[in-house]
Amino acid sequence: MSARPTIATAPGAKGKPVTLSTLAEKKALGEPIAMVTAYDYPSAGVAEEAGVDVVLVGDSAAMTVLGYPSTVPVTVEEMLMLAAAVRRGLKTPLMVGDLPFGSYEVSNEQAVATAQRFVKEAGCDAVKLERGGSSIDRAGAIVDAGIPVMGHVGLTPQTATALGGYRSQGRTADRALEVVRDAIGLQEAGCFSIVFEAIPSDVTDLVMPRLEIPVIGIGAGPATDGQVLVFGDLLGIYDGHAARFVKRYADVRAQMVAGVHAFAEDVRARRYPEPDHGYTMAPDERERLKGLLAADRN
C-alpha cells in the first residue's frame, strides 16, 4: 500500500480533540470552521486525516449511502450503526449524530431518549436536530439532559414536503424572519451551534450579528462561521442530484468505476492474478503432495 500524505497545516490535525470551546474560540478569533459528513469507518478516516473540525453523521446517509429517495425513511438503528462505524475511525474532530425524522418530534422524553442512544451506543459527542418551532423545546430538553445540540434551520430536508420541496428558504422578508426567529430560539434553548441551509446570503448577513454561537453554512453564503458539505457530494461519489451550493473537489466515483472496470477486464483477459499475487509451496512439499494425491486416488 502506498504512503499516506500528511497534511501539516490542517487546523484540526494537531491531534487535540475538537471541543465545543474550540469551536467557540474559532468563532471569537474569526477562524472558519470546516465540517463534513461521514458515514462509515473509511470516510471517518478521511475526515480525520484531512483535519476537519467537525464531522456530522448526517441523515443525508439515507440518500448518499443507503439509496433511499429522501432522508425521511432512515431509522435510528441504521443511523446508530453508521455512527458507531464513524466513531471507530475518528479521534480529533467533534462528532455530531443527526437525529432522524420521527425520532425526536413527539415529546421531550422521546428526544432525550434518542439523543442518549446516539451518545451511549454510538459514541457521538453531540446530536443535531432540524427546524425551529417545537424542535426548540426538544433541543432545550436534550441540552438539559447534558447532551450538546446543534440546530438546523432554513431548508430542513426532513420536512421538505411541507416547505414546498427542496428549495431555498427565506427569500421573502416574512419567511426570512421565521428562519431568523427559529435560529435565535435554538440559540436561546442552549444549542452550541446551528446549521443554516439554503438561505439567501443577505439573510445570513443580517442575522449573523445576533448569533453568539458558531453558525455553519451550506448554501447560506460566505458570512457564516464555517461551512459544511456532504462527503459524497464534495468528492463526487454520490451520483444523485447535486444542489446549487455543492462544489466538487474530486471525481472519486469515476476513479472507482475505472478501477473496478480495469479489474474486470484483467480477469476476463487472464491478466490477473500475476505470479506476484500468489503463494508458493516448497518443491519437495509439492512432490510429496503429488504422491499423497496419487495414493489417495487408489
Kindly state the smallest distance separating residue 216's Cβ from ligand KIV, in Å. Answer: 7
The answer to whether residue 230 forms part of the interface with ligand KIV (CB under 6 A) is yes
**Which residues are CB-contacts of 205 (< 8 A; sequence separation ≥ 6)?**
221, 223
* Residue 168 interacts with ligand KIV (CB under 6 A): yes or no: no
CA angle 49, 81, 106 (to 5 degrees): 120
Give the nearer residue to ligand KIV in terms of CB position, either 218 or 234.
218
98 binds ligand KIV (CB under 6 A): yes
Listed residue (125, 76, 122) closest to 101, CA to CA: 76
Catalytic status, residue 265: no
- 169 binds ligand KIV, rule: CB under 6 A: no
Half-sphere exposure of 196 (CA within 13 A, CB side): 34
Measured from the CB atom, is 20 or 160 closer to ligand KIV?
160
| Binding segment toward ligand KIV, per CB under 6 A, in 10-18, 51-59, 78-86, 171-179 | 51-59
CB of 139 to ligand KIV, least distance (A): 15
Interface residue with ligand KIV among 228, 234, 235, 237 (CB under 6 A) is 228
What CA–CA distance (Å, rounded) separates 181 from 164? Answer: 20
What's the min distance (Å) between Cβ of 70 and ligand KIV? 11
Please identify, using beta-carbon distances, which residue of 50 and 292 lies nearer to ligand KIV.
Answer: 50
Give the CB-nearest residue to ligand KIV: 58
DSSP structure string for 128-195: E---STHHHHHHHHHHHTT--EEEEEES-GGGTTTTTSS-----SHHHHHHHHHHHHHHHHTT-SEEE
Phi, psi of 117 (to 5 degrees): -65, -40
Nearer to ligand KIV, 36 or 147 (CB): 36
The 8-class DSSP code of residue 65 comes to T
Which of 31, 121, 197, 285 is catalytic? The answer is 197
**Residue 183 interacts with ligand KIV (CB under 6 A)?**
no
Dist CA 19 CA 163 (whole Å): 33
Maximum pairwise Cα distance, the chain: 91
Interacting span for ligand KIV (CB under 6 A) from 58-66, 104-112, 159-167, 169-177: 58-66
Binding positions for ligand KIV, rule: CB under 6 A: 37, 56, 58-60, 98, 152, 195, 218, 228, 230
